[in-house]
Chain A
Amino acid sequence: MEKKTASMKKKQRTGNIIAYAVLIVISLIWLFPFFGLIMQSFRSYNPAVEYGGMVDYIIPKTFSLDNYRFLFSGETNFLIWYKNTLIIAVFVSIGQTIFILCVSYALSRMRFKGRTLLMRFWLVLGMFPGFLTMICLYFLLKQFGLTQAGAVPGLILISVASSGMGYYVCKGYFDTLPVALDEAARIDGASRSRIFFTLTIPLSKPIIIYTALVAFMAPWCDYVFASYVAFGHDKSYNVAVALQRWIWTNDYQGYFTRFCAGGILIAVPVTILFLFLQKYYVEGVTGGAVKG
């Protein structure tokens, strides 16, 4: 008996060593691009210090803050772009969360005529490739005066308006909440809205945070439609649209290190937020994905 546990322990220890080795390798692979990105962001673009284009080494010869200085100096509208993105992200996050909660509650808890029809219909709608409708959405927004100078509210409107269709995870979460609670409250004479606000929502902290977090992150990467809507109006760009130009158009040569610095600045708030809320993200996504 004694011997057996000893051998098992030994086996477990070698198992753990292998596991640690694998995890370390995985971590290195996963972190490497970010390490590179950070290093690039500290390489100066000033020819007197170091060359600012692409290079074939990672660690800069001299560390400098030139790129960050450039972004904050007002030479470009970086701060405006950043502010735009932040505004969009915050409002989209609030709006989408409200919409998704409403839809999920209605679909999960209430039974009404056309419920399954609505769910089927939205499922089918979701299968149309999104940007097929981009040109149409652009002209719709233009009619509302929400392109170019009005691109920021326009993007918020578009992102929030159709968000009800993304109810799956949240509805899945609501489905796991015991119905018995609702029924008890109804017997006590509580109205549906009361149950929603005082019973369901307080129980749904993880899924609310999950929904808000996912919604908050999306605008930081939106460039295809955002560039359409801004339509050349520099002050309406979000960071993704603006920084993409530094890489893909000929007008901006040697902006690579500045792009990296911009990317780091974008990544910082989202990453911090994500790390703090990770727990809820996991609870939300697992709670919801059970039912999908």
Chain B
Amino acid sequence: MKKKMAALLVTGILAATLTCTAAYADEIKVWVADAVVDFTRQQIDSFMEENPDYAGYDVLVEAVGEGDAAGNMITDVEAGADIYVFAQDQIARLVSAGALEEVAPDNVEAVENDNDPGAVGAATVGDLLWAYPLTSDNGYFLYYDSSVVSDPSTLEGILADCEAAGKNFYMEINSGWYQTAFFFATGADLSYDTDDNGEFTACHTNYASDAGLIALKEILALKSSPAFQNGSSVGQGTKIAAIVDGTWDSSAAQELFGDNYACAKLPVFEGADGETYQMSGFGGFKLLGVKPQEDEAKLEVCDALAAYLSSEEVQLARYEAVGWGPSNLNAQASDIVKADVALSALAEQLAFTVPQGQYPGDYWSLATSLGDSVISEEITVDTSDDDLMATLQKFQDTCISYAE
């Protein structure tokens, strides 16, 4: 009796579900960070006004930050947004999960010509262009309190000032993104090749080298300073005198430092070999992606909308509204962008950074392991060169294994 009823109910419920799985073809869902939801909605409204042909589509803007957007798209493409902003480090995963449609052939040339080459490279996987560049400000530089740090040009000087004032220097050394500031500075190298499907085919790296060793030793030296704290978020730290962070934190940093707010390119440091190295790092980008569509008309609207949202005017307007640094070359050259303190520091740092290419997801967690080994003092300044080299060798071998 019980089972009979169970069977009955199951079939009943399933019958009900069959009827409610129809997709809404006339709705376009857009995912952007909370800070730009209102801005994006306004822009889309004016886009819709300019293009009455597309009036049949309802555009829904939801607040889903870049990190969550990529994760959600990978979990369930169908339920995900039609147009979404993501940080470039996710692009290979998104391509291989089938969550990105190639940029419309008509738009490719314009995107490639109008945006800075690093941004175009970031949106390219294999030989194909998969996304519309939105910002070029996903890089990092130094925010500091000018009443504490007198000279931001050397790491040693900054640390000494912080120590003297009993304040902290923040840098997130257990992040694969910030770590490269040291490794790329000393000439160590790490990059991957991808094919058109977003699969990794080759890894180029020489972390297990003298250059890598100098970089790792510098990280260890930084860790040994009492002023050092791990972290890269202004809102989460205390007693911050200097922090390696990106433009998204500029207003938080202004609040924190008040009149003493200052920005600079990353400092130089003196390596264990006595040479001076300029800290390097990744220059990163935010991209706008369009999801593969089953309906040609809708795809056309999505493409047009994505092209519009990443255009010169909208990028400039977005800078004015929320301060996101544009990837569009003309927008970058405009006077107001050039006058921005944080963006100028970033631009200055740009000369020393490597445009961030494609990295497998496992790299980031491996880098966290390396950083955590430093923070938890598994390896310290006193660890022998051989042991450090062994760690680097392991790191390098694991990196290479991701491309096999």
**Is chain B in direct contact with chain A in the complex (CB below 8 A)?**
yes
Residue numbers in A under 8 Å from B65 (CB-CB):
245, 249-251
Residue numbers in A under 8 Å from B64 (CB-CB):
232
Residue numbers in B under 8 Å from A251 (CB-CB):
33-35, 65-66, 248
Cβ-neighbour of A56 out of B20, B33, B34, B239 (below 8 A): B239
Cβ-neighbour of B236 out of A53, A135, A147, A148 (below 8 A): A53
Residue numbers in A under 8 Å from B97 (CB-CB):
none
Residue numbers in B under 8 Å from A231 (CB-CB):
72, 76, 79-80
Chain A residues within 8 Å of chain B by Cβ, number? 30
Once bound together, how far apart are the Cα atoms of A143 and B18, in whole Å? 8
CB <8 Å contact, B238 and A135: no
Q: How far is the CB of A116 from chain B (nearest CB, A)?
A: 16
CB <8 Å contact, A253 and B79: no
A129 beta carbon closer than 8 Å to chain B: no
Q: How many A-B residue pairs have CB under 8 A?
A: 85
- Mark A229-243 against chain B: 1 for CB-CB distance below 8 A, else 0: 001111000000000
B235 beta carbon closer than 8 Å to chain A: yes
B68 beta carbon closer than 8 Å to chain A: yes
Of B109-117, B119-127, B215-223, B249-257, the one contacting chain A is B249-257
B11 beta carbon closer than 8 Å to chain A: no
Once bound together, how far apart are the Cα atoms of A253 and B258, in whole Å? 16
Once bound together, how far apart are the Cα atoms of A251 and B32, in whole Å? 10
For window 209-242 of A, CB contacts with B under 8 Å fall at 228, 231-234
- Mark A121-144 against chain B: 1 for CB-CB distance below 8 A, else 0: 000000000000001001100111
- Mark B63-103 against chain A: 1 for CB-CB distance below 8 A, else 0: 11111110010011001110000000000000000000000
With both beta carbons as reference points, the residue of chain A lying nearest to B31 in the complex is identified as A232
A70 beta carbon closer than 8 Å to chain B: no
Once bound together, how far apart are the Cα atoms of A256 and B252, in whole Å? 12
- Mark A21-51 against chain B: 1 for CB-CB distance below 8 A, else 0: 0000000000000000000000000010001
A254 beta carbon closer than 8 Å to chain B: yes
- Mark B14-58 against chain A: 1 for CB-CB distance below 8 A, else 0: 001100110000000001011100000000000000000000000
Residue numbers in B under 8 Å from A252 (CB-CB):
34
Residue numbers in B under 8 Å from A233 (CB-CB):
62
Once bound together, how far apart are the Cα atoms of A144 and B76, in whole Å? 15
With both beta carbons as reference points, the residue of chain B lying nearest to A257 in the complex is identified as B235
Residue numbers in A under 8 Å from B20 (CB-CB):
144-145
B233 beta carbon closer than 8 Å to chain A: yes
CB <8 Å contact, B62 and A234: yes
Residue numbers in B under 8 Å from A54 (CB-CB):
235-238
CB <8 Å contact, B63 and A234: yes
Once bound together, how far apart are the Cα atoms of A52 and B31, in whole Å? 27
CB <8 Å contact, B72 and A254: no
Residue numbers in B under 8 Å from A147 (CB-CB):
79
CB <8 Å contact, B69 and A255: no
- Mark B253-294 against chain A: 1 for CB-CB distance below 8 A, else 0: 011101000000000000000000000000000000000000
Cβ-neighbour of A55 out of B21, B81, B238 (below 8 A): B238
Residue numbers in B under 8 Å from A245 (CB-CB):
65, 68
Most buried by B among A148, A233, A251: A251
For window 51-95 of A, CB contacts with B under 8 Å fall at 51-56
Residue numbers in A under 8 Å from B258 (CB-CB):
47
Residue numbers in B under 8 Å from A148 (CB-CB):
79
Residue numbers in B under 8 Å from A51 (CB-CB):
255-256
Once bound together, how far apart are the Cα atoms of A228 and B16, in whole Å? 23
Once bound together, how far apart are the Cα atoms of A232 and B20, in whole Å? 20
For window 173-201 of B, CB contacts with A under 8 Å fall at none
CB <8 Å contact, A253 and B235: yes
With both beta carbons as reference points, the residue of chain A lying nearest to B18 in the complex is identified as A143
B158 beta carbon closer than 8 Å to chain A: no
Once bound together, how far apart are the Cα atoms of A139 and B78, in whole Å? 11
Q: How far is the CB of A61 from chain B (nearest CB, A)?
A: 14
Residue numbers in A under 8 Å from B233 (CB-CB):
250, 253
B388 beta carbon closer than 8 Å to chain A: no
CB <8 Å contact, A253 and B67: no
Residue numbers in B under 8 Å from A256 (CB-CB):
235-236
Instruction: List the interface of chain B (C-beta within 8 A of A).
Output: 13, 16-17, 20-21, 31, 33-35, 62-69, 72, 75-76, 79-81, 233-239, 248-249, 251-252, 254-256, 258
Across chains A and B, which 6 residue pairs bring their CB atoms closest together, nearest first? A47-B255, A53-B235, A232-B64, A253-B252, A251-B65, A56-B238
5 contacts between A and B (CB under 8 A): A54-B237, A143-B21, A249-B65, A251-B248, A256-B236
16 new A-B contacts, CB < 8 A, other than A56-B238, A144-B13, are A47-B255, A52-B235, A53-B236, A53-B237, A54-B238, A139-B76, A143-B17, A145-B21, A148-B79, A231-B79, A232-B64, A232-B69, A232-B81, A233-B62, A245-B65, A251-B248
